[in-house]
Amino acid sequence: MTTATPVRSDQPDGSPAPDAGPGRVRAGVFDPKQLWTSLPDALRKLDPRVMAKSPVMFVVEIGSVLTTVLAIAHPGAWFGWTIAAWLWLTVIFANLAEAVAEGRGKAQADTLRKAKTDTVARRLTGDGAAEESVPGTALRVGDLVVCEAGDVIPGDGDVVEGVASVDESAITGESAPVIRESGGDRCAVTGGTKVLSDRIVVKITTRPGETFIDRMINLVEGAARQKTPNEIALNILLASLTIVFLLAVVTLQPFAVYAHAEQSMTVLVALLVCLIPTTIGALLSAIGIAGMDRLVQRNVLAMSGRAVEAAGDVSTLLLDKTGTITYGNRQATEFVPVRGTTAAEVADAAQLSSLADETPEGRSVVVLAKERFGLRERHTGELAHATWIPFTAQTRMSGVDVDGRMVRKGATGSVLAWVRERGGEVAEDAQRLTDEISQAGGTPLLVAVDDADGARVLGVIHLKDVVKNGMRERFDELRRMGIKTVMITGDNPLTAKAIAQEAGVDDFLAEATPEDKMALIKREQAGGKLVAMTGDGTNDAPALAQADVGVAMNTGTSAAKEAGNMVDLDSNPTKLIEIVEIGKQLLITRGALTTFSIANDVAKYFAIIPAMFAVAYPGLNKLNIMALHSPQSAILSAIIFNALIIVALVPLALRGVRYRPMSADRMLRRNLAIYGVGGLIAPFIGIKIIDLLITLIPGIG
């Protein structure tokens, strides 16, 4: 049966399609309606048990309760009621930022839940000869289930028998089917996806309730989000600053009494709320949730917030050549004969040895021989008496024995050794030709024959990799960010060097084995660097587990997906570069808003302190540089600004600060100039405008 060819929505340069993925909402888009729809969730978060997780906002909530009690005790004091109301709004706005961030994942979770249907599984009995129908929830790890065209796969697992076309649109958003087959790196299937053709036997690898879809639902909703180490450290810093300012405000009252300028509890609470870093305290959780959300928008599932954060600190990127740096399918472009033979002879032998080779490279050899030399495409059925020699990792060559003639094609060293073992002589220019092709960035395959004239090399097949458009520019950006790129390939060193130079990577690892990858990662980590890599096979699992950021392909094996801390649902290895950029954007956003928040406090200090003590110490009026109308309007203006700035920054927290590739020093200077200076100036302007508006209210002005 002919099946549709899988077509991924990612562009050749690795950029994601704008509308792929479950419940896709474009990243960075903020709809003001989200504030209203998330309000009920924000109100539910007023529970002190929830608020206690954020020390800064918990203090603000306690202050809100205290000022409310004081307002009730003095019902005629409009100032007390107004301060209490705006303090409650400050707490609600903080909860609203987190609720909006969490709400952005609900559409995706709802779409995924639709894929969680109660299915009936056709489980094979102990001897595998009979089937029994059982509910999908009754399946256990190790069970074998049969899935045919039209069946919904009842649970996560690996294909152990057969090949089928599978609709994974419920997971990836792609309408094009994909091929899943046993015995390779594309054997993993996900519960809830649908078999479109043929028959497969799936070995279940997860328990009910712990499937990939269940984990996705929890993660996109934020239920499983763990605070990252940097986020925890920043929370500790904010809590420490809150304690310091709390002690400062508590000790301020005795001085005020001594100066005959005793302050009300309402004013002291207002001072405390304005001095502690409420802005970043309110937005910190939303920034973390939005960082994971941006990954989901690009069809990448992060298993932990730690991985997202680590991506922002990555120093070394390990990238597979095939499919990441190059398009993946090497194509035969030329038949190069050795001295004494012709290109037509090489083409004839190469085509014959490739008839049973179903790889893209093998098919391209057959097609090139037909196009260049008019050789009829023979079929394996016409050569029923032939003995086909499959390619293996040990021999590194393949071929055919037919009509007393032995034909081989494969790696240079393997074919040369085969010719010499059979007593043949190797043409003097054979090694030179393969070296020239390798140095030009191609992959040489030697073609040899052993017939009545003896064993000999006929020539070389030139296979060529094509570097993806824009890769050199992207690697230049990474270099400006201080990130080292390493290309991983199984090619020989000469070929690897040529491709690495063309693509612009910093280093390469040729003829790489799983052990070589692990050793490279450990060397980089021993030097204090964080390492990121992609993989899809069981042999990649150890390296994925060792890497600080391990991105497993969704098309890969269950072992690879379990070992990695991220899963790319589109299975596009190039997306690792985007993941690093998203991680950096998360760190930059958090740092920028922290800078803005702390700078805000300086302006609020100039608004409240002169207002509190100007009566006792008239000289403090010189600090009233904003010329605020009265002590009460100054304090109220600062509290109102403190609440409104949280709402104003919600879109920025969700969208993230725009990332530009540059050095860390330059980025620091830029953020200090924009968010440090901006954080100083904005409150002066905002508080003054609010003060002018307050003075227009009858009874206040």
Tokens of 197: 């053709």
pLDDT of residue 20: 39
Q: What angle do CA 9, 12, 17 make, to 5 degrees?
A: 30
CB 536 within 8 A of CB 572: no
CA–CA distances in Å: residue 398 to residues 356, 384, 451, 695: 9, 17, 17, 89
111: confidence class by pLDDT, cuts 50, 70, 90? low
- What letter would DSSP give residue 521? H
27: confidence class by pLDDT, cuts 50, 70, 90? very low
Q: Is the pLDDT of residue 109 over 70?
A: no
Q: What is the pLDDT of residues 477-487, one digit of tens each?
A: 888 878 899 99
Give the pTM.
0.66
Paired with 634 in beta bridges are none
The DSSP result for 34-82, as a single string, is HHHHTHHHHHHTTSHHHHTTSHHHHHHHHHHHHHHHHHHHSTT-HHHHH
Q: What is the pLDDT of residues 359-387, one digit of tens each?
A: 778 888 888 888 888 876 565 555 767 88
Which residues are CB-neighbours of 294 under 8 A, at least 6 positions away?
A: 27, 28, 582, 585, 586, 656
Which residues are CB-neighbours of 347 under 8 A, at least 6 positions away?
A: 335, 368, 369, 372, 373, 375
How many CB atoms are located within 10 Å of the residue 209 CB?
A: 8
**Which of 199-208, 391-400, 405-414, 428-437 is the least confident region?**
391-400
**Sheet with strand 454-464: strands edge to edge:** 331-337, 454-464, 442-451, 405-410, 397-402, 387-389
Q: Is the pLDDT of residue 95 over 80?
A: yes
Residue 515 burial (CB < 10 Å; 0-12/13-18/19+)?
Answer: exposed
**Which of 112-116, 167-171, 524-528 is the least confident region?**
112-116
Residue with more model confidence, 558 or 2 = 558
Q: What angle do CA 668, 671, 677 make, to 5 degrees?
A: 125
Percentage of the chain with pLDDT > 70?
86
How many CB atoms are located within 10 Å of the residue 489 CB?
A: 24
pLDDT of residue 256: 79
- What letter would DSSP give residue 582? H
Highest mean pLDDT among 58-67, 95-104, 107-116, 665-674: 58-67
Give the Cα separation of 60 and 62 in Å (integer). Answer: 5
pLDDT of residue 515: 83
Known binding-site residues for Mg(2+) equal 536, 540
397: confidence class by pLDDT, cuts 50, 70, 90? confident
**Centroid of chain to Cα 142:** 30
- Lookup result for tokens 């060097």: 497
Q: Is the pLDDT of residue 62 over 90?
A: yes
What's the chain's average pLDDT?
81
CB 274 within 8 A of CB 192: no
Q: What is the pLDDT of residues 507-519, one digit of tens each?
A: 999 888 878 888 8
pLDDT of residue 170: 62
Q: Is the pLDDT of residue 152 over 90?
A: no
Percentage of the chain with pLDDT > 90?
15
**Which of 9-18, 139-148, 259-268 is the least confident region?**
9-18
Closest CA to 594 of 284, 131, 267: 284
> What number is the average pLDDT over the span 146-169?
86
What domains appear along the chain, each with residue ranges and CATH number? 32-105+220-294+585-696 (no CATH), 120-154+156-205 (2.70.150.10), 300-325+469-569 (3.40.50.1000), 327-466 (3.40.1110.10)
Residue 665 burial (CB < 10 Å; 0-12/13-18/19+)?
Answer: exposed
How many CB atoms are located within 10 Å of the residue 645 CB?
A: 22
Q: Is the pLDDT of residue 147 over 60?
A: yes
Q: Is the pLDDT of residue 528 over 90?
A: no
3-state secondary structure 626-695: CCCCCHHHHHHHHHHHHHHHHHHHHHHHHHCCCCCCCCHHHHHHHHHHHHHHHHHHHHHHHHHHHHHHHH
CA–CA distances in Å: residue 567 to residues 104, 144, 160, 281, 299: 20, 25, 22, 30, 8
pLDDT of residue 107: 57
pLDDT of residue 8: 34
Secondary structure (3-state) at 8:
coil
Q: Is the pLDDT of residue 96 over 60?
A: yes
pLDDT of residue 22: 41
Q: What is the pLDDT of residues 73-92, one digit of tens each?
A: 887 678 889 999 999 999 99
Q: Is the pLDDT of residue 58 over 90?
A: yes
Give the Cα separation of 701 and 696 in Å (integer). Answer: 6
Q: Is the pLDDT of residue 644 over 90?
A: yes
Give the Cα separation of 286 and 653 in Å (integer). Answer: 7
Q: What is the pLDDT of residues 339-356, one digit of tens each?
A: 889 999 999 899 888 887
Q: Is the pLDDT of residue 696 over 70?
A: yes
Q: Is the pLDDT of residue 173 over 70?
A: no
Q: What is the pLDDT of residues 556-599, one digit of tens each?
A: 777 778 888 888 877 777 788 888 888 888 888 988 999 999 88
- What letter would DSSP give residue 322? B
**Which of 322-336, 400-414, 453-467 is the least confident region?**
322-336
pLDDT of residue 185: 64
pLDDT of residue 175: 58
Q: What is the pLDDT of residues 282-326, one digit of tens each?
A: 888 888 878 877 887 788 877 766 788 888 888 898 987 876 787
The DSSP result for 437-485, as a single string, is HHHTTEEEEEEEEEETTEEEEEEEEEEE--BPTTHHHHHHHHHHTT-EE
Q: What angle do CA 14, 19, 23 make, to 5 degrees?
A: 125
pLDDT of residue 639: 92
Known binding-site residues for ATP equal 357, 361, 391-398, 409
699: confidence class by pLDDT, cuts 50, 70, 90? low
pLDDT of residue 337: 93
CB 126 within 8 A of CB 203: no
CB 639 within 8 A of CB 701: no
Phi first, then psi: what are they for 450, rounded to 5°? -130, 105
Catalytic amino acids?
Answer: 320
> What number is the average pLDDT over the span 627-649?
87
Q: What is the pLDDT of residues 535-548, one digit of tens each?
A: 877 777 888 888 88
pLDDT of residue 700: 58
